[in-house]
Amino acid sequence: MIEVHNLTAGYGKRTALWNIDFSIHFPAFIGIIGPNGSGKSTLLKTILGELIPFTGSISLFGKPISEVKHRLAYVPQINSVDWNFPIRVMDVVLMGRFRPNSWGPFYSKSDREKAAFYLNAVGMSEFSKRQIGELSGGQRQRVFLARALAREADVLLLDEPLAGVDAGSGERILSVLSDYQQQGRSIVMVHHDLLTASTLFDHLVLMQTRLVAAGPIQQVFTLSNLQTAYGTDVSILSDMIHKLGQTPGNLSDHPKP
Ligand code: ADP
Ligand code: MG
C-alpha cells in the first residue's frame, strides 16, 4: 500500500504540491496524470525520497520511505539526463545492480547475467557496447528501463516513459511493464496522454497542484474530475470519452496492452 498524508512539497520557497492525501493498495498500476506543471514529477520525486516534503508524510508497505528505498526502482524523465556523460549501455544497466553497502563498483557474474537478461528484455542486447549518447530517445528510455528492472524491486516508478519515444520502443516498454505487473508487482507512472491513460492503469492520481482525485480508475476518470484538472472545454473531453466508446464507469474493463 502507498499512503500519502497531508503532503506539501516544492523547491526553495516555491510550492509545487499542496496538501496531497490518498492511499492505494498494492499491487496496482498507478498513473499520475494532470496538466503540465501540475506537480506530477514532484510527487514522484517525493515518493522516491529524492525530495524532502515541506510537510506531511509518505509511507510504502506501512513504512516510511527511508526504510523501503531498496524496494523501489526509478526510470527518470529522459530529458533530465546528461547524455554527454561517456558511459556504455551495459554499464548503465549494471548500475541497477549496485548496492550502496557493497564493496565498491564490483559486479558479480550473476549481476552481469542479470544486466544482460534485462537488456535483452527491452530488446537492446545488440547495443550493449554502444555509448549511451549515441542512441535515439526511445533506445535510451529502454536502457534506463532495463537498469530499473535489474534492481528487481517491488515497485517501479517511471516519469513519462513514453514521451518522445518511437512507436516500436513504446510498444516494447508497454509489454515489459505488463509483464512486470503480471508478476504481482506495482508500477507508479507519470503519464500525460489522457487517451491511453484510460486503458493503461487500474488506479489514477489526478493532479492540479492540489489533488483532484485518486483511486480506482472508474472513480477518477470522470468528465467532471478531468474538467477540474484540465479546465478544458467540456466538449473536447466528452468527445474524447465518446471516442473511447465507453463511459468512464467501465473503462477499467479495457484489455491491458
Ligand atoms: P509536472 O511534472 O506535472 O509537469 P513538476 O512537478 O515538474 O510538474 O513541476 C511542478 C511545479 O514546480 C512547476 O511550477 C515547476 O515549474 C516547478 N518546478 C519543478 N522542478 C523545479 C525545480 N527543480 N526548481 C524550481 N521549481 C521547479
Ligand atoms: Mg514532469
For ligand 1, atom 7, the nearest C-alpha belongs to 41
Instruction: Report the nearest atom of ligand 1 relative to the CA of 160.
Output: 2
CA of 235: how far to CAs of 148, 189, 226, in Å? 40, 27, 12
pTM, entire model: 0.89
Q: How far is the C-alpha of 175 from the C-alpha of 173, rounded, in Å?
A: 5
Please give the number of the atom of ligand 1 that sits closest to the Cα of 34.
3
Go through 49-65 and write b for each residue having 16 or more CB atoms within 10 A of its CB, e for each that does not.
bebebeebebbbeeeeb
Predicted confidence at residue 104, as pLDDT, reads 60
Domain that holds residue 59: 2-251
| Ligand 1 atom nearest to 207, measured from its CA | 3
The verdict on residue 104 lying in a domain is yes
Ligand nearest 161 Cα, by number? Answer: 2
C-alpha 149, offset from chain centre: 12
Q: Which residues contact 14 (CB under 8 A, 6 or more apart)?
A: none
Ligand 1, CB within 6 Å, residue ranges: 11, 14, 16, 34, 36-42
Domain assignment present for residue 257? The answer is: no
- Rounded to the nearest angstrom, the distance between the alpha carbon of 101 and the centre of ligand 2 is 31
The CATH number of residue 180's host domain is 3.40.50.300
Residue with CA at minimum distance from ligand 1 atom 5:
39
Residue of the CA atom closest to atom 21 of ligand 1: 11
Instruction: Assess if residue 134 is contained within a domain.
Output: yes
Buried b (16+ CB within 10 A) or exposed e, 240-252: ebeebebebeebb
Which residue carries 472545454 as its cell? 233
* DSSP-assigned states of every residue in 6-57: EEEEEETTEEEEEEEEEEEPSS-EEEEE-STTSSHHHHHHHHTTSS--SEEE
- Nearest alpha-carbon partner for 241 in 231, 233, 251, 232: 251
Task: Tell me 146's DSSP state.
Answer: H
Please check whether residue 246 lies inside any domain of the structure: yes
Instruction: Return phi, psi of residue 182, to 5°.
Output: -65, -15
Give the number of the ligand closest to the Cα of residue 163. Answer: 2
Specify if 103 maps to a domain.
Answer: yes
Please give the pLDDT value at position 256: 39
**C-alpha cell at position 97:** 545492480
Residue 256 lies in a domain: no
**Integer Cα distance of 32 and 207 in angstroms:** 7
Please report, in tens digits, the pLDDT of each residue of the chain (257 residues total): 999 999 999 999 999 999 999 999 999 999 999 999 999 999 999 999 999 999 999 999 999 999 999 999 999 887 777 777 889 999 999 999 987 666 666 788 999 999 999 999 999 999 999 999 999 999 999 999 999 999 999 999 999 999 989 999 999 999 999 999 999 999 999 998 888 898 999 999 999 999 999 999 999 999 889 989 988 665 666 666 666 655 444 444 444 34
**How many domains does the chain divide into?**
1
Query: Quick check: is 191 in a domain?
Result: yes
Q: How far is the CA of 41 from the centre of ligand 2 (A)?
A: 4
Identify the residue whose C-alpha is closest to ligand 1 atom 1. Answer: 37
Is residue 247 in a domain? yes
Amino acid of residue 162: L
Which ligand minimizes its atom distance to the CA of 229?
Answer: 1
